[in-house]
Amino acid sequence: MANRLLWVGGGLAVLAVAFLVLSDPASEEAAPDWSEPRLGSADAPHEVIYYFDYQCPHCKHFEESPEFEALLADYVEAGDVRITFHVLPVFGPDSRGLAQASQEVWNQDPDAFWTWHTAVFERQAVPDSGWAAKGRILELTAGLELGLDLDALEASFDDRTHAAEAQEDAQQGQRAGVSGTPSLVIDGQAFLAEDTEAVRSALDAMVHAG
C-alpha cells in the first residue's frame, strides 16, 4: 500500500504489522499502556521516545531515511526496544492542532493511525503555509476512508480535546533536554535523531547494560 509504512523500501511495512500484532494495543495484558503511538513489542525491555513535528522537514527526511529503517531492524525488530511517538509542535498552531488530531486518530483506531501518519507526512509542504490547517487535514482523513469518526476528529481541533496530553508530551521532552525535532530520548538523554552515530552508541550502551 502507498503509505508511510512503506517509507523505506517496504521493510517498515512488515515490521509495523508484526509489531502491532505482537503488541495488540487493545490487550491490557499484552500492553498495559498503549495510550500513545508505539512500534515494538510490549515485552521489549527498553523504551525510546521519538519527538517529531508533522510540519518538520527534517522529521520527514529522517523517517524516509535508510538510517531509520536500520534502527528499526537492529533494535526494534530485534525485540530490544520499543519506540513511543510524541508530537512536539515546534512550528505554529497547525502543528499544535496536528498533535491533538494524531492523538485522536490513535485513540480511535491504532491500526488506522499508521496510514494516517503516513498520509500526513506525504502531504507535508512549507511549514505554516496552510497545508496542515484543520480543514485540509479533515479533507485528507475523509479521503483515506479509514472509518474514523470525523466529527470527533474535528472536535479535537476545536475543543482542544487532547491539549493536556500534548502539553505533557512537550514537558516531558523539555525535561529530557529535547530542543528540536526530530529527537530521540534514549535512557533519559536527548539526541538529535539524525546524529546516527551518537544514537547508535547510546542505544548500544542501553541495550548492553541490560
Question: Looking at residue 72, which CATH number applies to its domain?
Answer: 3.40.30.10
For 70-94, what is each residue's pLDDT tens digit? 999 999 999 999 999 999 999 989 9
Supply the DSSP symbol for 146.
Answer: -
For 108-132, what is each residue's pLDDT tens digit? 999 999 999 999 999 999 999 999 9
Range of the domain at 112: 4-209
| Among 151, 121, 120, 149, CA closest to 137 | 120
12 alpha-carbon distance from chain centroid: 13
* Residue 182: cis peptide before it, omega within 30 degrees of 0: yes
| Among 127, 107, 115, 40, CA closest to 78 | 40
> In the chain, how many domains are there?
1
